[in-house]
Amino acid sequence: MRAFRDELWRAMDGIYQQILAHPFLTGLTDGSLPKEVFRHFVLQEAHFLPDYARALAACAVKAPDPASVQRFAADAARTVEVEHSLHVELLNAFGIGEAEARRHPAPPTALGYGSYLLRACHLGTFAEALGAIVPCYWIYARVGQALLDRSSPDPLYAWWIETYGGEEYQETVAGVLDLLDEVAEGLTGDECGRLLANATTTARYEWMFWDAAWRREDWPV
């Protein structure tokens, strides 16, 4: 029997290929990505990560067994503690204080993506929430892996690539994918369809998040 994860990946693969080809990511590996663009990406992350952590916590609330509750609660805590603190360091590297980052209103795509995740994880069933959250993990893990060999001549960009391409993150994601396959066994066709639709929306937002950083997107009015 084919694992359900293969079906989920098929729903995202076309979008993933466009992510890899995006000038943001090709610029990371050849080091040509302008610093102001990466700075904008970090600012978007500063706004997005707290919502992402809350969405993970909502998954913990709906998780069907104690081990899964622990997995999502731990990832929510890690998102707040590790990722946010790393990004605070990056913000400092760019001379953006935490207060300034908070003062800057969340740019449209970062706000839209975080709001969508919260909506999907709060209003959906556990399976629907999982559909929305899995691509966040999986696309970052695949992007990190794909960029790892080429890495980057820029130490800051190389650090970013190693964070997501590294073994620890890969193991975290492998655990979530095992859970996805397990959960999918008990779903109806309709539930699988809703899970996959959410995954596609998240994959689109992932592309949009990089593209928004590339354009240094802000509110037009």
Residue 190 Cβ vs ligand HMH, minimum distance, rounded to whole Å? 27
Instruction: Provide the 10 A C-beta neighbour count for residue 166.
Output: 14
| C-alpha dist (Å) from residue 24 to 3, 70, 137, 207 | 32, 34, 19, 10
The residue within the footprint of ligand HMH, chosen from 48, 116, 138, 157 (CB under 6 A), is 48
Residue 21 Cβ vs ligand HMH, minimum distance, rounded to whole Å? 18
Residue positions annotated with a catalytic role = 136, 206
Single-letter amino acid, residue 85: S
Q: What single string gives the DSSP state of each residue in 53-91?
A: HHHHHHHHHH-SSHHHHHHHHHHHHHIIIIIHHHHHHHH
The binding track of 113-142 with respect to ligand HMH, each residue x by CB under 6 A or -, is -----------------------x---x--
Instruction: Provide the 10 A C-beta neighbour count for residue 132.
Output: 25
Closer of 139 and 195 to ligand HMH (Cβ): 139
Single-letter amino acid, residue 97: G
Q: Does 209 bind ligand HMH (CB under 6 A)?
A: yes
Residue 139 Cβ vs ligand HMH, minimum distance, rounded to whole Å? 7
Residue 55 Cβ vs ligand HMH, minimum distance, rounded to whole Å? 11
Q: How far is Cα 10 from Cα 218, in angstroms, rounded to an integer?
A: 32
Q: For residues 54-93, which are near ligand HMH according to CB under 6 A?
A: 83
Which residues of the chain form contacts with ligand HMH (CB under 6 A)? Answer: 45, 48, 83, 136, 140, 206, 209
